Structure 1
Amino acid sequence: MFKLLFLGSGSAFTVGADNFQSNMLLINDRGNKLLIDCGSDIRFSLYEAGLSYLDITDIYISHLHSDHAGGLEYIGFSTKFDPQCKKPNLYLSKDVGIELWQKTLSGGMSSIAGDLAELSTFFNVSYISSNNFFVWQNTKFDLVKVSHVDNSYYLMPSYGVFFQINKSKIFITTDTQLHLNTLQKYYKKADLIFQDCEIGEYPTNIHAHYQQLLQLPKLVKNKMWLYGYQPGKLPDARQDNFLGFVKRGQIFNF
């Protein structure tokens, strides 16, 4: 049996211990753990779940925003200099990986005592070709390229994951706008969808908004859990035919 634990289910700027950034752990029946995104509050969300960097051996990173990659410095340094730890395995799309070190991590991590470091100093890096897949614990994870931030000059690389456990087909969107030309076929194939959803009064236009998701067919909403939302009063998702809003610490068993 596998289970998916939401270490947090909030947006990038979630404040306080009521929720954390929407990072999650996929855990198999042998206790192996895949961390899906590693945000800047990961040391706190792991602690609240009774875990620490010692439990992190495998990581997937969807894109470069700090609520998804900002905790890698903590994990990298902690595991590097703790003799109990081996290098964690790091899975990410090649276009994300190239920018991860150069633009996100190198400033704080490239110089260590007596040496210069690179990403492979801290992690066993597996670069995934665009629209390809990686395999973790005999489970195949297809990367789904999504549209998150597009400023007309540059489309930030960002990837959701689609995978199957036993007979359950699962789609985790990670951060994405609602672009049906990309997402619709995965909505159709999936048995369970974990959907990025903002609820704020002023939409950011880089996430799917609840009001947009309301327009989806009932068949899709009936298999959709919502996460990545801002603090505040939540709409009645069940009344609107969704499965609900994911809560911090919620576990899904497969």
Structure 2
Amino acid sequence: MAKVIILGSSNAVPTRDHENTHLAIIGEKRSILVDCVSNPVVRLEEAGVDFNELTDIIITHFHPDHVSGVPLLLMGMWLMGRTKPINIYGLHFTMDRLEDLMGFYGWAEWPNFFPVAFYRLPEAEMAFVLDDDEFRISSSPVHHMVPTIGIRVEVKQTKKVLAYSCDTEPCEQTVRLADGADILIHEAGGATYGHSSAEQAGEIAARAEVATLYLIHYPTGRFAKGDLVTEAGKAFQGEIILARDFMTIDI
């Protein structure tokens, strides 16, 4: 059975127990990293995932708390002798900057580097990301400070649907992206520019008629804000779960 592993659940300021938000989608043949931060090799191994078995990386947007780990991950794969290709997906804005970032490290001069394919996604709703015998993944633009995507994952074996908002203020695109999903993972960073409160996440979940809402990308440590599950429950009557690092969700 496919699963999602919450590798981090914090907003941009992590703590010892809450790393920056990023996820892994694990199937029988495909292992997909959604955003890449901190020390990804260690984080994945702590979660029981062989980093060298990753097949795909989806980068939702070009902010440090979502993309800073990519150079270190690719270098680790190269040093471990990886030869099989890896696919990286993101908007044009994101991929252009990520390629520039890798260029600053001079990776074109690293000998025998494995193939890396950068797939530029259109800034359109329900854009095609990938489709195989395990998953169908689509992306939609959401409302953040830079061009950003949320994703919709359809699991073919179980027929389950998971949607992930990424960083966004409330928007119609997220409602449509999550429409009828079994699981919505929605940020709860607070009702500020480019972000959503837990109650606003609950409103999106209710409008999209999802079954279960997971709150993620929330303030932690000294910035923590009250009972987010109770706050989301003001607007959403379904199951609400506060995402925690290394939590596993069957899909």
CA gap of 1:221–1:53, structure 2 versus 1, over 3 A, is: closer
Paired position in structure 1 for 2:47 = 49
- In the alignment, the residues of structure 2 paired with residue 111 and residue 243 of structure 1 have an alpha-carbon distance, to the nearest angstrom, of 46
Report percent identity of matched pairs: 19
Shift of 1:10: 1.3
Partner of 1:25: 24
Aligned length: 237
TM-score scaled by length of structure 2: 0.82
Aligned partners of 1:42 and 1:193: how far apart in 2? Answer: 24
Q: What is the match of residue 128 of structure 1? A: 121
Q: Deviations over 1:28-58 (max 9, x none)?
A: 134x311111113423422322345323231
Name 2:77's counterpart in structure 1: 79
Assess, with a 3 A threshold, how the Cα gap between structure 1 residues 163 and 211 changes in structure 2: closer, same or farther.
closer
Range 67-76 or range 218-227, more displaced: 218-227
CA offsets 1:139-196 (integer angstroms, 9 cap, x no match): 22111100111xxxxxx211011121132222111111112x3222234332221101
- Match among 193, 203, 207 for residue 205 of structure 1: 193
Structure 1 runs of 4+ aligned residues shifted over 6 Å read: none
1:20–1:41 contact (8 Å) kept in structure 2: no
**Does structure 2 conserve the Cα–Cα contact (< 8 Å) formed by 1:79 and 1:87?**
no
What's the CA shift for 1:121? 7.0
Q: Secondary structure of 2:194's match? A: coil
- Give unmatched runs, 5+ long, in structure 2: none
Which of 209-218 and 127-136 deviates more? 209-218
Write the distance in 2 (CA, Å) between the matches of 1:217 and 1:43: 33
C-alpha displacement of 1:214 = 4.9
1:47-126 map, 5 Å: 47-102=45-100, 104-110=101-107, 112=109, 123-126=116-119
Say if 2:228 is the partner of 1:230.
no
Asked if the contact 1:79–1:86 (Cα under 8 Å) also holds between the matched residues in 2, the reply is: no
Are residue 140 (structure 1) and residue 136 (structure 2) matched? yes
User: Structure 1 length normalisation: TM-score?
Assistant: 0.81
2:152–2:164 Cα contact (<8 Å) kept: yes
Is the contact between residue 90 and residue 126 of structure 1 (CA under 8 Å) also seen in structure 2? yes
Matched, 1:248 2:235: no
Q: Which amino acid aligns with 2:11?
A: S
- Residue 168 of structure 1 corresponds to 160
Q: RMSD of aligned C-alpha atoms?
A: 2.7
Matched residues in 1 for 2:110 and 2:204: separation? 54
Query: Per the alignment, in what secondary structure is the counterpart of residue 237 of structure 1?
Result: helix
How many angstroms apart in 2 are the aligned matches of 1:133 and 1:161? 10
What displacement does 1:14 show?
0.7
Cα distance in 2 for residues equivalent to 1:57 and 1:221: 29
Measure the CA separation in 2 of the matches of 1:71 and 1:29.
25
Maintained 8 Å contact 2:187/2:217 = yes
One-letter code aligned to 1:235? D
| Partner of residue 183, structure 2 | 192
